[in-house]
Structure 1
Amino acid sequence: MAKVTVGVSLKMYFGHQQATTWFDEVATRVRAHDAVHSGAVELFITPTFLQVLPAITAFAGTPVRIGGQDVAAADTGAFTGEVSASELAEVGASIAEIGHAERRRLFAETDEVVAAKTAAALRAGLTPLLCIGETERQEPADAAAVAVAQLRAALVGAPAGSVIVAYEPVWAIGAPEPAPHDHIRVVAAALRSALDADPDRADSAVIYGGAAGPGLLTALGDDVDGVFLGRFAHDPDALVTVLDEAAELALRRASARGAS
């Protein structure tokens, strides 16, 4: 895959005004970023539900994709406080983040709940952003087995459609450094093999999150399809640094394809 994906989750760090200011500042930079405009770099952002509409407005006319940080498992009904996949799609969102470690730990989401949400997102035409990762640090091969099992569980009963798999080892989320490069390579390769073996998941991507920051994409090269950023991206200029890095990687991939 020549395209490089950069994602940002704002979690619940920003208030509404702070978020809208951030959207405007990032949108200004994105409009001047050739690689994002060309599609060589795909940028997606998952703000809070209340911030989805302002984000869609701020990034109108750009290729930036906006998503929700969660989605209901049901399509419609008496589910107070939930937001359906079809409503997210109706307002212009195109991604639904599903199964983040915090949802599993704080809200007791199981593999079955994750699978139901994945299916609901795909039924509505949204791209599931599947958060995958082992809770405790272990050998790369063991972590890969856990990650692939989580991925397969998330896709049980899911309609055909592409997904974005965000490999986020729980022990690296919020840590000073990302997981070791060799560890990421092994797990990402296993996830990629699992996706490639599933004919229903064409054009899917495997990205890395968990203390991701500048330099990681350059170090990993073709071992991942992109990165998933957290607090590092709160500074719009820092985000652009990673977008520039992604643009260089996308160019190298395109050149390699042209030479082959």
Structure 2
Amino acid sequence: MTAPAPPPPRPEGDPHPVVVLAGLAKSYGRVKALADVSLSLRAGEFTALLGPNGAGKSTLFQILTGLFVPDSGTVSVLGADLSADPTAALARLGVVFQQSALDLDLTVEQNLSYHAGLHGMAPRAARQAIGEALALFGQAGGRRERVRTLSGGTRRKIELARALMTDPALLLLDEPTQGLDPASRRDLVDHVARLTRERGLGVLWATHIVSEVEDADRVVVLHRGRVLDDGAPADIVARHGGASLEAAFLAMTSAPATDEVPAGRAA
């Protein structure tokens, strides 16, 4: 049975767009990693980028963070074009990558101080930002602990604190719960959801674990580089006739490959 066509992309005129992606495409040889991906991400919204392994989630994040250049399409952050003015665009993004970027032999404070230095923060401002960011995750008392001694869940909180030190408009998290136990995974999701509400932070959380994002404000389903659906979890379930978000997700991503793409979604 053919799945119902998803709605058109959310317009760029939505209130408070933080990041606008328009027509992003990226190929590696004959493999099309992204195909005409267009999204508008807003402040105060927890958006889940949900897709199976190989869907193109990491490629999208590498483009958003300036590590990869798209074959076509544009990225703008609060009006700053990523290709024309990368410094201004990247300054408003906070990132937690799939693989940890903490130095295990340094203390928490040393790791965060190094990050502050890379962003040109003055020492006094850096100390204040470090204290405030760690306090958000209940880690203010552990700033002199060596990262090597910390649990996986605590390390992820330190990485989140580091990403928030520069007061980003959008927080990007690429499979942030990888390797964590279920309790630590739930704790991390809850922390980020709270920050979204309390700080008006825009969040893009990439994952293949449906249970992590069932309470997200919005879910974007990505498969084979194409956006298959975009909306509130309940709306996605209703459109695809499943009993749950997981059932709807499996129905969409298990369908045979096709060149038929909903208008406005991919080419």
Bin for the TM-score computed over the shorter chain:
0.3 to 0.5
Considering fraction of residues, name the structure with more strand.
Answer: 2
TM-score normalized by the length of structure 1: 0.40
Considering fraction of residues, name the structure with more helix.
Answer: 1
Using CA pairs below 8 Å that are at least 6 residues apart, which structure has the higher relative contact order? 2
